[in-house]
Amino acid sequence: MKRPKEIIGATDIADLPELGWYNVPVRIDSGAATSAIHCSRVRLSHENGQELLHIYLDAKRGAPQRSFTVTDFKETIVRNSFGKEEKRYVIKTPIKIFGRKIRTEFSLANRQKMSYPILLGRKLLKNRFVVDVSQKNLSAARHSKAPSRSQEISTD
């Protein structure tokens, strides 16, 4: 049975549990095709015949500084908000919002001039959310009223 669509505001708070990144401010952007994570440094290395991508996340709007390494990534061409094409790495990781864990792709971009470290685009929103730009932090508000994590029951 298909889940009903949630109403999501212009901004919210989410977790990226596999990256150990919690209570991260996110901006909803229905004009962006893909989601993006702000990072200032990305470095590729090779160990034991395997390619490793080393990523450094800057502290931004309450998000902590964090570095991690992934082996599951790809490179793609993305058109940025100014219409310029640029090569970016893309990783797949779950995001937890509205109590749902959604595995999705994030391009790695330098969002230093942007207010939010994570941008959620149409691919994540499609068939899951309806955007109401007059609202904000609906998932965070619901989570603060929800039972403690030990009492949560997952429906996914």
pTM: predicted TM-score of the whole model, two decimal places: 0.81
Per-residue pLDDT reduced to its tens digit, 77-109: 888 777 888 889 999 999 999 999 999 999 998
Please write down the HEC assignment for all residues of the chain. CCCCCEEECCEEEEEEHHHCEEEEEEEECCCCCCEEEECCEEEEEEECCEEEEEEEECCECCECCEEEEECCEEEEEEECCCCCEEEEEEEEEEEEECCEEEEEEEEEECCCCCCCCEEECHHHHCCCEEECCCCCCHHHHHHHHCCCHHHCCCCC
Per-residue pLDDT reduced to its tens digit, 19-55: 888 888 999 999 888 999 888 788 899 998 899 999 8
